[in-house]
Structure 1
Amino acid sequence: MNNNFKMVAKTLFGFEEILAKELRNLGAGNVKEGVRNVSFEGDTGFMYKANLCLRTAIKILKPIHSFYVRDERDLYKKIYDLDWSDYLTPDTTFAIDATVNSEQFSHSLYVSQKTKDAIVDRFREDQGRRPNVDIKFPDVRINIHIQRNQCNLALDTSGRSLHHRGYRTATNIAPINEVLAAGLLLLSGWDGQCDFLDPMCGSGTFLTEAAMIACNIPANINRKEFAFEKWRDFDKTFFEKIVDSSLNRTREFNHRITGYDKAPSAVRKAQDNCANANLSEYISVERKNFFETRKLTEGQLHMVFNPPYGERLNIEMEKFYESIGDTLKQGYPGTDAWFITSNLQALKFVGLRPSRKIKLYNSHLESRLVKYVMYEGSKKAKFNKPPEL
């Protein structure tokens, strides 16, 4: 018997294709890319596995109802008419997350309030008691999305955003989001088949995500809790089998993952976070100024980093980005160097022609993920080789 149901994985702009690929590789059915989301089908076990393993998903939603709404009275009535006893009891706490893009509904907090009112009024009418709202730690989190006049209701299976992996206890100023870091690594083609360097590693997020990709470790293995663990039908034994099965698919990694940072505090934080993820055996973090380094390994090197944009640190931007280009040219032959920046003007000072530019967003900042190929051999070979398409 087919027990599959539809789910929606939310993601960051530009990650839809790689998330769809992740889902197909995990075994999802009917995968369809949207804008900042990918829909798919699977059973309860796959819902557990998607939350545990997906690297580029922010949340996994389980749609439960969809209907047309005219105004707030219509919204209240249609929410009230639904049978909420399938998901809640008077002893269950819940929270509402609302997103609206509609002329009729302009305030998400108002939509949340009307939805909450309809649910608790229905319980009072049917059972004489009502469930309570708990914004921070609800038993059930309900997602409502109104696009023009179309209302979609879903259960949030994840809870806190899936970028909260659980290993990062120490951070620097404006650390890179774990989902963003994993997505950048996957977009760069990182697959664990060579050495890896983050020359400005901060608190070590790229290092940890790179090691988990290289070893095929589930992205959220260190996470403390998923929302579905509080559901009435949660099967703990089944979930533990999913965890064990996912861990059995890990693989050995025979190369080096290295991080540099010139700040001693950043080095300590990166080391602590790598240790929290139980990945210290694969990762070394050293106090070094990238601009004073050279490539120390033989063979191909894969480099991904997140240089300052000028928003976090007071730096001389032109000189800083010029130094990135000079260091790559002079010290890193045989390297694919990728970095993300929202300072699009600063890219002009690198002094190298990028072979790829990918438009992304780092939080609210429009950014570019750029690739520079540092070839082995003569200068003539470097400049004559055509750029990637």
Structure 2
Amino acid sequence: MNIPKKAILQKGQGRTRKLAKLEYIYERESRYFAQVAESVKDLALKEIQDLGGKNTQPVFRGIWFEADQSTFYKIVYLSRLASRMLVPLVEFQCKDKDDLYKGARTIRWEEFLTPQKTFSIASNVSESQINHSNFAGLRVKDAIADYFRDRSNRRPSVDTESPWIMINVHIHKDRAAISIDAGSGPLHKRGYREARVSAPMQETVAAAIIALSGWNGEEPLLDPMCGSGTLLCEALMHYSRIPAQIFREQFGFERLPDFNVREWEAVKAAADKAIRPLPRGLIRGSDISDLAIEATRTNLMGLHYGAEIDVELADFRQLNRVENTLIVTNPPYGIRMGKDQNMKLFYKDLGQFLKEQCKSCTAYVYFGDPGFIKHLPLAPSWKKNLEIGGLDGKIVKYQLY
């Protein structure tokens, strides 16, 4: 891809300056990339389109889309299913380390950071002559350091924990792309999880389960094995329209040279204003573990209307009859179960609970280990792969008549 240079008037946070600059891909094409797990790509595609993304193009592990500035801010702030949002800067042929170094040096890095700031690099390579992701990241790091050292004899430092800006390097079939991470990190890290139990569900997995269920608040929702409450939190955020990134303190798009603070503040204000109350009792959960209940209550405490969710210390086997309710749950498995636990008996009991105590309900059960599906003695309506969050899981729907 040829990246032209031209003289432009650039506006950034109140400053106007005339300079000859490299026109970045996102500036020229208003095009961005959402990293998305393959198994939720259709859901994420609809989400991006509903939020205003145009000319969407699904590709392997992601979706290209076009958006104006304010719409892009909105998509980053509200998306529940994307794992990262990337702002593409340059793309070039990259057959060896020198090509990568030279390509990285074409970027005017002073527009994004200074020697006093910090950065980190995430890199991924596939089907290329450069075949080591860490090496690619180090080569781009060297290019950035040398860029500043040649101009000021100083260089920014690498900070992998809390950098000023996060840079993404992707090389596929000897074609390199360098982007800015618009969310300054993985978007599944919502910020509400202050307490946890063993092997907690990733937030994007829970969001995908809620989306697949089609739940819209017309019937109550119950998680009878809520763990640390991730499904309950995501159900609350979905119903009450709480922005997925409401607790994120900084965004990578704020580091872009054309960042428009007024547009961002307007987008954020409109999204926050759209938050609606949660009716008492619409969402509820329970768990046999007092530690899990404590963690759930802690995590709900920081969310809008989290206090409206009833959380009960109880074994699902002893719950009262449930009717006309949507049930979503992630049963314990593997490391989440005690070594003495009889798994076959556990799933037999779960099946009996769903069949006898949950008439006129629909259940969506997530199996992090699909091998346990056969132990739940109910006929599924359907099964779908949900390979996300480091697990090759499945979500199974059971219609309970």
Give the distance between the partners of 1:305 and 1:366, measured in 2 at CA.
17
Q: Is the counterpart of residue 173 in structure 1 residue 198 in structure 2?
A: yes
Q: Is the counterpart of residue 185 in structure 1 residue 197 in structure 2?
A: no
Residue 374 of structure 2 corresponds to which residue in structure 1? 348
Q: Is the counterpart of residue 271 in structure 1 residue 297 in structure 2?
A: yes
1:157 to 174, 182, 197: 182
Whether contact under 8 Å (1:12, 1:36) holds in the other structure is: yes
Q: Is the counterpart of residue 129 in structure 1 residue 159 in structure 2?
A: no
1:1-389 equivalent positions in 2, closer than 5 A: 5-231=30-256, 233-254=258-279, 256-296=282-322, 300-314=324-338, 315-375=341-401
Q: Which secondary structure state, in structure 2, belongs to the residue aligned with residue 33 of structure 1? A: strand
Whether contact under 8 Å (1:197, 1:301) holds in the other structure is: yes
More displaced stretch, 356-365 vs 283-292: 356-365
Whether contact under 8 Å (2:217, 2:282) holds in the other structure is: no
Give the distance between the partners of 1:342 and 1:135, measured in 2 at CA.
29
Amino acid aligned to 1:363: G
How far does residue 64 in structure 1 lie from its aligned partner after superposition? 0.7
Q: Which secondary structure state, in structure 2, belongs to the residue aligned with residue 63 of structure 1? A: strand
Give the distance between the partners of 1:11 and 1:369, measured in 2 at CA.
17
1:157-180 per-position Cα deviation (integer Å, ceiling 9, x unaligned): 111211111111000001001111
Give the distance between the partners of 2:255 and 2:196, measured in 1 at CA.
29
Over the aligned positions, Cα root-mean-square deviation in angstroms equals 2.0
How far does residue 220 in structure 1 lie from its aligned partner after superposition? 1.7
Give the distance between the partners of 1:281 and 1:92, measured in 2 at CA.
40
Whether contact under 8 Å (1:165, 1:223) holds in the other structure is: yes
Whether contact under 8 Å (2:112, 2:255) holds in the other structure is: no
* Change in CA separation of 1:78 and 1:233 when aligned onto 2, cut-off 3 Å: closer
- What TM-score results when the alignment is normalised by the length of structure 2? 0.87
Whether contact under 8 Å (2:183, 2:252) holds in the other structure is: yes
* Change in CA separation of 1:236 and 1:262 when aligned onto 2, cut-off 3 Å: same
* Change in CA separation of 1:263 and 1:40 when aligned onto 2, cut-off 3 Å: same
Q: List, as ranges, runs of 4+ consecutive aligned residues in structure 1 with deviation greater than 6 Å.
A: none
Give the distance between the partners of 2:316 and 2:388, measured in 1 at CA.
23
Q: Which secondary structure state, in structure 2, belongs to the residue aligned with residue 369 of structure 1? A: strand
Q: Which secondary structure state, in structure 2, belongs to the residue aligned with residue 311 of structure 1? A: helix
Amino acid aligned to 2:75: A
Give the distance between the partners of 1:225 and 1:173, measured in 2 at CA.
28
More displaced stretch, 55-64 vs 67-76: 67-76
Q: Which secondary structure state, in structure 1, belongs to the residue aligned with residue 63 of structure 2? A: strand
Give the distance between the partners of 1:348 and 1:95, measured in 2 at CA.
44
Amino acid aligned to 1:295: R
Number of residue equivalences? 372
Q: Which secondary structure state, in structure 2, belongs to the residue aligned with residue 324 of structure 1? A: helix
Whether contact under 8 Å (1:166, 1:223) holds in the other structure is: yes
Amino acid aligned to 2:216: D
- What TM-score results when the alignment is normalised by the length of structure 1? 0.90
Give me the identity figure in percent: 34
How far does residue 91 in structure 1 lie from its aligned partner after superposition? 3.2
Give the distance between the partners of 2:342 and 2:283, measured in 1 at CA.
29
Give the distance between the partners of 2:233 and 2:28, measured in 1 at CA.
35
How far does residue 230 in structure 1 lie from its aligned partner after superposition? 4.7
What are the ranges of 5 or more consecutive residues in structure 2 without an aligned counterpart?
A: 1-26
How far does residue 296 in structure 1 lie from its aligned partner after superposition? 4.1
How far does residue 85 in structure 1 lie from its aligned partner after superposition? 3.2
Residue 3 of structure 2 corresponds to which residue in structure 1? none
